[in-house]
Amino acid sequence: SAVISQKPSRDICQRGTSLTIQCQVDSQVTMMFWYRQQPGQSLTLIATANQGSEATYESGFVIDKFPISRPNLTFSTLTVSNMSPEDSSIYLCSVDTNTGELFFGEGSRLTVL
C-alpha cells in the first residue's frame, strides 16, 4: 500500500493566477498520476509522471497549462496555470505500487473565482 499526502487540501484562487499542488508518497514509486475530478463528474487523467523523464499528457491537456515536476521517487507537483473558473475541480494524485492498484491522495479542491 501507499500513503499519499496532498497540499493544499483546498484553495480559493483568483482568475489568472497559478497554483502548485504537492504530492508526497511514503514510499518510492515509479509511476505517479494526476487526475482531475470536476464537480459531479468522473476522474479524468491529466498526465503520467515518471521520475527522470518528461510527463506524458493525455489528450486535451498540455504542459503549458499543467506543468508537472517529478524530482524524485516520492514527490511530484502539478501546477494549474493562468486559472479560469473552468479549472475549478478536485485534483488528485495517485500512485501505482506495481500491483496494478492505484492509491489516491485525498485530493486538492480548487475553486477559481
| Contact positions vs another protein (CB under 8 A) | 31, 33, 41-43, 45, 48, 92, 94, 100-107
Distance of CA 51 to the CA centre of its chain: 14
Task: Enter the C-alpha cell of residue 74.
Answer: 516520492
Residue 82 CB, nearest approach to another protein (Å): 26
The least CB distance from residue 16 to another protein, in Å, is 29
Nearer to another protein, 13 or 31 (CB): 31
Closer CB to another protein, 13 or 102, in the complex? 102
Closer of 10 and 15 to another protein (Cβ): 10
